[in-house]
């Protein structure tokens, strides 16, 4: 596996306080952070010196984050983009998926989740292997957990989770799901508590039952519970 590197992180955030929070947190992780308050300023930085990764707010003055993400010059940079939004909608998440975002995080952004994503971007940054640069980078833990998926219009799929991360999971199901569709997940955890329910977006479906999801509304407490269950199952 490639060694971790110090990242140059471009933060695109028009709220000064939040931009400073992201910058300070990225710095504590040992990376460099540059904060700009508009998509136009971000575009200039991308053209002058592309960073390793960009943290991009959706709601910006004038050009939106999604409009920036869709520009050919941005897509040609092929850098990982972590999209953040205080107004999470299914359509926003679908747009981010179509435009190639690495992750989609709802505000208030759990810093520990952001840190997990950045840690793994750092491992793969600069890799000569195209597959490593393009893969979803949040660490995934192998685990088997019962899963029930309720799709749009009430259709139900059942199966098992096969790996989880702070931002999503993969599963094997008894039916195919449509990529880009929003679903409700119900995960049975071994801690004796209630099933963990989450709104999620179907990221990939191979047509043979293997499906990958992004979480859209899990709270930090719920993420911690899910990952603790996974660690307990694998004995670490």
Q: Is the pLDDT confidence value at 108 over 90?
A: no
Note the pLDDT of residue 123. 66
Record the pTM.
Answer: 0.69
Note the pLDDT of residue 24. 97
Q: Is the pLDDT confidence value at 154 over 90?
A: no
Note the pLDDT of residue 235. 62
Q: Is the pLDDT confidence value at 136 over 60?
A: no
Tell me the mean pLDDT in the region 77-99: 81
Out of 3.40.50.2300, 3.30.450.20, 3.10.129.10, 1.10.8.60, the CATH code matching 8-134 is 3.40.50.2300
Q: Is the pLDDT confidence value at 141 over 90?
A: no
- Residue-wise pLDDT for 186-228, tens only, equals 999 999 899 999 988 888 888 788 999 988 878 878 888 998 8
Same CATH fold assignment for domains 8-134 and 141-234: no
Note the pLDDT of residue 135. 42
Handedness of CA 109, 23, 73, 59 (dihedral sign): positive
36 pLDDT band (50/70/90 cuts)? very high
Q: What is the rounded CA–CA span in Å between residue 104 and residue 180?
A: 13
Domain definitions of the chain by residue range: 8-134, 141-234
What does pLDDT average to over the chain?
85
Tell me the mean pLDDT in the region 141-170: 91
Domain 141-234 has CATH 2.40.10.220: yes
179 pLDDT band (50/70/90 cuts)? confident
Q: What percent of the chain has pLDDT over 70?
A: 89
């Amino acid at each position: 596996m490639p060694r971790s590197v110090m990242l140059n992180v471009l933060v695109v955030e028009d709220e000064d306080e939040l931009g400073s929070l992201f910058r300070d947190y990225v710095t504590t992780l040992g990376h460099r952070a540059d904060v700009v308050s508009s998509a136009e300023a971000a575009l200039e930085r991308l053209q002058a010196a592309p960073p390793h990764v960009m943290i991009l707010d959706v709601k910006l003055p004038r050009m939106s984050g999604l409009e920036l993400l869709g520009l050919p010059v941005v897509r040609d940079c092929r850098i990982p983009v972590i999209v953040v939004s205080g107004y999470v909608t299914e359509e926003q998440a679908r747009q981010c998926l179509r435009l190639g975002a690495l992750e989609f995080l709802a505000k208030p952004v759990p810093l520990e989740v952001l840190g997990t994503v950045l840690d793994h971007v750092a491992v793969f940054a600069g890799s000569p292997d195209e597959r490593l640069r393009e893969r979803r980078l949040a660490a995934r833990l192998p685990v088997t957990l019962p899963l029930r998926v309720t799709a749009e219009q009430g259709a139900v799929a059942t199966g098992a989770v096969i790996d989880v991360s702070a931002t999503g999971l993969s599963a094997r199901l008894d039916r195919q799901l449509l990529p880009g569709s929003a679903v409700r997940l119900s995960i049975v955890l071994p801690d004796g508590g209630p099933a963990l329910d989450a709104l999620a977006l179907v990221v990939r479906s191979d047509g043979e039952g293997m499906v990958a999801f992004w979480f859209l509304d899990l709270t930090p407490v719920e993420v911690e519970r899910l990952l603790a269950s996974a660690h307990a199952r694998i004995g670490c």
